[in-house]
Amino acid sequence: MATYKQLLAEKEALEAKLNEVRATEVAGVIEKIQSLMAEYGLSVDDIAPKRRRGRPAGTGAAKKAASSLPPKYMDPKTGKTWSGRGRAPAWLGKRPERFLIES
Protein backbone atom coordinates (compact mmCIF):
# COMPACT_ATOMS: atom_id res chain seq x y z
CA MET A 1 0.00 0.00 0.00
CA ALA A 2 1.27 3.47 -0.92
CA THR A 3 2.24 5.92 1.77
CA TYR A 4 0.96 9.45 2.15
CA LYS A 5 4.19 10.97 0.79
CA GLN A 6 4.14 8.68 -2.24
CA LEU A 7 0.56 9.66 -3.00
CA LEU A 8 1.44 13.36 -2.69
CA ALA A 9 4.33 12.87 -5.13
CA GLU A 10 2.01 11.13 -7.59
CA LYS A 11 -0.51 13.94 -7.20
CA GLU A 12 2.14 16.58 -7.97
CA ALA A 13 3.31 14.61 -11.01
CA LEU A 14 -0.26 14.32 -12.29
CA GLU A 15 -0.92 18.03 -11.74
CA ALA A 16 2.25 18.91 -13.66
CA LYS A 17 1.19 16.62 -16.51
CA LEU A 18 -2.33 18.15 -16.45
CA ASN A 19 -0.90 21.66 -16.72
CA GLU A 20 1.36 20.64 -19.61
CA VAL A 21 -1.44 18.94 -21.56
CA ARG A 22 -3.81 21.82 -20.94
CA ALA A 23 -1.24 24.35 -22.17
CA THR A 24 -0.74 22.44 -25.44
CA GLU A 25 -4.49 22.05 -25.98
CA VAL A 26 -5.14 25.71 -25.23
CA ALA A 27 -2.46 26.71 -27.73
CA GLY A 28 -4.18 24.59 -30.38
CA VAL A 29 -7.59 26.07 -29.57
CA ILE A 30 -6.21 29.62 -29.74
CA GLU A 31 -4.63 28.87 -33.10
CA LYS A 32 -7.92 27.46 -34.40
CA ILE A 33 -9.86 30.51 -33.16
CA GLN A 34 -7.39 32.89 -34.77
CA SER A 35 -7.60 31.07 -38.11
CA LEU A 36 -11.42 31.15 -38.02
CA MET A 37 -11.38 34.85 -37.14
CA ALA A 38 -9.09 35.55 -40.08
CA GLU A 39 -11.23 33.40 -42.40
CA TYR A 40 -14.46 35.21 -41.51
CA GLY A 41 -12.93 38.66 -40.98
CA LEU A 42 -13.93 38.92 -37.33
CA SER A 43 -12.35 41.11 -34.67
CA VAL A 44 -12.24 40.80 -30.90
CA ASP A 45 -15.06 43.38 -30.65
CA ASP A 46 -17.28 41.12 -32.77
CA ILE A 47 -16.74 38.17 -30.45
CA ALA A 48 -16.45 39.60 -26.94
CA PRO A 49 -19.71 40.85 -25.42
CA LYS A 50 -19.84 44.51 -24.59
CA ARG A 51 -20.04 45.10 -20.85
CA ARG A 52 -22.91 47.32 -19.87
CA ARG A 53 -24.27 48.25 -16.50
CA GLY A 54 -27.93 48.27 -15.69
CA ARG A 55 -30.77 47.71 -18.10
CA PRO A 56 -30.47 48.62 -21.75
CA ALA A 57 -32.38 51.73 -22.71
CA GLY A 58 -35.86 51.23 -24.06
CA THR A 59 -36.60 47.84 -22.52
CA GLY A 60 -39.18 46.94 -19.95
CA ALA A 61 -42.17 48.96 -18.91
CA ALA A 62 -41.43 52.61 -19.45
CA LYS A 63 -42.96 55.09 -17.01
CA LYS A 64 -44.80 57.92 -18.69
CA ALA A 65 -44.43 60.97 -16.48
CA ALA A 66 -46.06 63.26 -19.02
CA SER A 67 -49.36 61.37 -18.97
CA SER A 68 -50.03 61.42 -15.23
CA LEU A 69 -53.64 61.24 -14.22
CA PRO A 70 -55.48 64.23 -12.76
CA PRO A 71 -56.23 63.93 -9.05
CA LYS A 72 -59.67 62.68 -7.99
CA TYR A 73 -59.33 63.16 -4.25
CA MET A 74 -57.81 65.95 -2.14
CA ASP A 75 -57.12 66.30 1.57
CA PRO A 76 -58.28 69.83 2.48
CA LYS A 77 -56.03 70.01 5.56
CA THR A 78 -52.72 69.27 3.84
CA GLY A 79 -53.57 69.79 0.17
CA LYS A 80 -52.31 66.30 -0.75
CA THR A 81 -54.04 64.66 -3.70
CA TRP A 82 -54.63 61.12 -4.95
CA SER A 83 -55.54 60.06 -8.48
CA GLY A 84 -57.45 56.95 -7.44
CA ARG A 85 -54.79 54.52 -8.61
CA GLY A 86 -52.42 52.52 -6.47
CA ARG A 87 -52.55 52.19 -2.72
CA ALA A 88 -55.06 54.50 -1.07
CA PRO A 89 -53.56 57.06 1.32
CA ALA A 90 -54.37 56.85 5.02
CA TRP A 91 -56.07 60.26 5.10
CA LEU A 92 -58.75 58.94 2.73
CA GLY A 93 -60.32 56.84 5.48
CA LYS A 94 -63.44 54.71 5.07
CA ARG A 95 -65.52 57.34 3.29
CA PRO A 96 -63.52 58.55 0.29
CA GLU A 97 -66.50 60.45 -1.15
CA ARG A 98 -65.81 63.20 1.43
CA PHE A 99 -62.53 64.02 -0.32
CA LEU A 100 -63.80 63.76 -3.92
CA ILE A 101 -62.78 66.70 -6.08
CA GLU A 102 -65.73 68.21 -7.94
CA SER A 103 -64.97 68.51 -11.63
Residues 6+ apart with CB under 8 A from 88: 82, 96
| The predicted structure's pLDDT at residue 50 | 76
What digits encode the pLDDT tens for the residues 24-55?
999 999 999 999 999 999 998 888 877 777 77
Tell me what pLDDT residue 68 has.
81
CA 91 – CA 59 distance, rounded (Å): 36
Q: Which residues contact 50 (CB under 8 A, 6 or more apart)?
A: none
Q: Within 10 A of 75 (CB to CB), how many other CB atoms are there?
A: 15
pLDDT at residue 64 is higher than 70: no
Which has the higher per-residue pLDDT, 68 or 76?
A: 76
What contacts 80, CB < 8 A, 6 or more positions away? 74, 89, 91
- Percent of the chain clearing pLDDT 70 (strictly above): 89
State residue 87's pLDDT score: 92
- Under a CB-based contact definition with an 8 Å cutoff, are residues 49 and 76 in contact? no
